[in-house]
Amino acid sequence: MLLRNRLSVAGLCLLAATAVASGPAVAQHALEQPALTGFTAKSGIARAPEQEAVVFEHAGLEFRIDPAQRRMDGDAALTFRALKPLSRLVVDLDRNYAVAAVEVDGQALPASAWSNPEGRMTVTLPRPLAAGARTTLRIRYGGHPHVASRAPWDGGFVWSQAPTGEPWVASAIEGEGCDLLWPCIDHPQGEPLLVDEAITVPAPLVAAGNGIALGMDEHDGWRTWRWRAKSPDTYAIAINVGPYELLSADYESRYGNTIPLRFWYLKGNQAKARALFAQFPKMLEFFEATIGPYPFGDEKMGVVETPYLGMEHQTVNAYGNDYKLTEYGYDWLLQHEFAHEWFGNQVTNADWDHMWLHEGFGSYMQPLYLQWLRGDREYDAWLLFQRKFLMNRVPIVSGHSMVEDAVYNDKTGPGNDIYYKGSLLLHTLRNLIGDKAFFAATRELVYGTTDPRPGNFTPRYATTRDFIDAVNKATGRDYGWFFDVYVYSAALPELVASRDATGLSLQWKAPGGKAFPMPLQVRVDGRDIEVPMADGRGHVDLPPHALYTVDPHSRVLRAMPHIDDYQVDVAARLKAAAEAAQQADPRHEERDHGARP
């Protein structure tokens, strides 16, 4: 997902000289709709024992989308294989849907056999399931899906209209989870191994789906679009309906396979869409050369134009950045969401507590791409942009299970630090251990092997510990101290530098007095000197009146008092401006502003 650019982020987002409004987002405030239960509003609550006791082998999902009524009817056939004997099945589903029928292996169940008081639906099986046996649970349901108040951050359905007048409908449900759309296991580890989608929409609308296209039938003024996807992220299963036109091409991969490129853009946007589509091969080339094979090359690289900013929907990424051009000469939003095909969809966090593995890597991919595409100036500029937003109030990994919202909300978790602090610590790690070890460890995290080739890997789950182990394996050393400070501590390490009789005395002060043997460079009169800092201390001899710069290549993420002061100043100015606006017009509403990361 995209950084939540809200004024609450210490008011910092507005400061960006490059701040832009958050795309063609559709305001859907003041909606009257039934409240979500706690179960449904949150994603990543601990799974029920019955959910942990199954392999989710297949989900057959039929969605009928009626934009005129703002209604969705669903028919879900879920096949599970039991790992233990089971007498009940449990799935998560928004209780605001009316359930029309529940069947197990073709047998209709009486209403007494199931209940869904809180959005966690329990179904008593007609007969117990033995370990190793399979069963298919079918649920027919329907109603008005939860409408997003501020997609993609406060998610749900977005019922919009294309500029040409047709319905334009999309879902974005990362924060609340898959249970807003279909009966699922709303936990990062709830991915079905295979999903078949049949999305029925009024003709002549197009429904772009996950995975490969299996065809379309038209009947009685409706069209049913069929799709099949392997191991999609639970929140990646998405509805995208509109008057789309399609751009298609093939990409010849360095790994020998051919990857279909597909872009569904709104009718009328062809010229801009063609220019964006021309960026697809460059991005693929970068990611395949730098990280490894595109994980879904036997399906497609897919992008669809959405009425909200963006979301990493597997093989059908949501794009709503309005084709904005920047001085960097690439579309950061497309590139960020595409990065999630590796960091999020191929490797998925085992628990939301490790979401920095998606967003930190996902955010580091923009400067890294720019370093290749443009050069060091753009790389450094993007990192400096990220640096000024760090909060450092809460560690980016807590060490215990978290729900999505608790991680993204900076009142209860690290919030935006999972993006930019994650990115900047990866920049520091790369400088510390070198490109060879850094990219080997990254490949190990993403694919579970340092030699990924199409066909020798499948989507996997991982934790921060897995990445630390990969770093240690790639380097042959223990870098636990690095992660103890940057990932498991809130405050950044501080460098204390003071002049003494012979030169410059340096000392690291890490939070909690933790060991921090981070080497440094010091530039003295134009010459870069390496300072090992093995025990957290170092010294550089300085001639009288010498000019020096600590860390002249900005390699090490550390506390910067001038940035702290800047953040305080910006927050004060924003607060004063908001108060002045409020006085001038009491109806003035605090606006959300998006900033380019």
Contact pattern for Zn ion over residues 1 through 40, marking x by CB under 5 A: x---------------------------------------
The DSSP code sequence of 440-472 is HHHHHHHHSSSS--TTS---EEE-HHHHHHHHH
Instruction: Tell me the closest approach of the beta carbon of residue 339 to Zn ion, in angstroms.
Output: 8
Residue with smallest beta-carbon separation from Zn ion: 362
Q: What are phi and psi of 487, to 5 degrees?
A: -105, -45
Residues 520-539 that bind Zn ion (CB under 5 A): none
Instruction: Tell me the closest approach of the beta carbon of residue 362 to Zn ion, in angstroms.
Output: 4
Instruction: Tell me the closest approach of the beta carbon of residue 419 to Zn ion, in angstroms.
Output: 7
Assigned token pair, 99: 């359930």
Q: Which is nearer to Zn ion, 79 or 345 (CB)?
A: 345
Asked whether position 367 contacts Zn ion by CB under 5 A, the answer is no
Sole window of 92-100, 194-202, 278-286, 355-363 interacting with Zn ion (rule: CB under 5 A): 355-363
Asked whether position 362 contacts Zn ion by CB under 5 A, the answer is yes
Instruction: Tell me the closest approach of the beta carbon of residue 333 to Zn ion, in angstroms.
Output: 10
Sole window of 135-143, 152-160, 358-366, 450-458 interacting with Zn ion (rule: CB under 5 A): 358-366
Q: Which is nearer to Zn ion, 40 or 416 (CB)?
A: 416
Sole window of 255-263, 361-369, 529-537, 585-593 interacting with Zn ion (rule: CB under 5 A): 361-369
Q: Which is nearer to Zn ion, 60 or 362 (CB)?
A: 362
Instruction: Please tell me the distance from the alpha carbon of residue 181 to that of residue 63, in angstroms, as a whole number.
Output: 9
Instruction: Tell me the closest approach of the beta carbon of residue 259 to Zn ion, in angstroms.
Output: 22
Instruction: Please tell me the distance from the alpha carbon of residue 311 to that of residue 444, in angstroms, as a whole number.
Output: 25
Instruction: Please tell me the distance from the alpha carbon of residue 52 to that of residue 129, in angstroms, as a whole number.
Output: 15
Please count the residues of the chain. 597
Q: Which is nearer to Zn ion, 1 or 446 (CB)?
A: 1
Q: Which is nearer to Zn ion, 95 or 313 (CB)?
A: 313
Compute the 3-state secondary structure of the chain and give helix, strand, coil in percent, each to the nearest 5. 25, 30, 45
Assigned token pair, 484: 């103890």
Size of the site for Zn ion (CB under 5 A): 3
Sole window of 133-141, 246-254, 362-370, 529-537 interacting with Zn ion (rule: CB under 5 A): 362-370
Task: Find out whether 372 and 64 touch, Cβ atoms under 8 Å.
Answer: no
3-class state of residue 366 by DSSP: helix
Asked whether position 155 contacts Zn ion by CB under 5 A, the answer is no
Residue 326, H or E segment: none
Instruction: Tell me the closest approach of the beta carbon of residue 1 to Zn ion, in angstroms.
Output: 5
Residues 387-406 that bind Zn ion (CB under 5 A): none
CB within 8 A of 192, min separation 6: which ones? 56, 57, 58, 59, 78, 184, 231, 232
Instruction: Please tell me the distance from the alpha carbon of residue 181 to that of residue 65, in angstroms, as a whole number.
Output: 11
Fill in the DSSP letter of residue 147.
Answer: B
Contact pattern for Zn ion over residues 310 through 349, marking x by CB under 5 A: ----------------------------------------
Helices (H), 388-416: 404-408
Instruction: Please tell me the distance from the alpha carbon of residue 195 to that of residue 78, in angstroms, as a whole number.
Output: 9
Assigned token pair, 369: 């791409």
Q: Which is nearer to Zn ion, 156 or 362 (CB)?
A: 362
Assigned token pair, 13: 């987002």
Residue identified by tokens 């978790």 is 413
Instruction: Tell me the closest approach of the beta carbon of residue 340 to Zn ion, in angstroms.
Output: 6
Cβ neighbours around 406 below 10 Å, total: 17
Q: Which is nearer to Zn ion, 1 or 41 (CB)?
A: 1
Q: Which is nearer to Zn ion, 191 or 359 (CB)?
A: 359
Whole-Å CA distances, 242 to 69, 158, 264, 592: 16, 12, 9, 26
Q: Which is nearer to Zn ion, 12 or 334 (CB)?
A: 334
Instruction: Tell me the closest approach of the beta carbon of residue 580 to Zn ion, in angstroms.
Output: 34
Q: Which is nearer to Zn ion, 362 or 367 (CB)?
A: 362
Instruction: Please tell me the distance from the alpha carbon of residue 426 to that of residue 17, in angstroms, as a whole number.
Output: 25
Instruction: Tell me the closest approach of the beta carbon of residue 180 to Zn ion, in angstroms.
Output: 19
Sole window of 28-36, 89-97, 325-333, 352-360 interacting with Zn ion (rule: CB under 5 A): 352-360
Instruction: Tell me the closest approach of the beta carbon of residue 310 to Zn ion, in angstroms.
Output: 8
The helix/strand count (H/E) of the chain reads as 12, 28
Instruction: Tell me the closest approach of the beta carbon of residue 334 to Zn ion, in angstroms.
Output: 12
Residues that bind Zn ion (CB under 5 A): 1, 359, 362
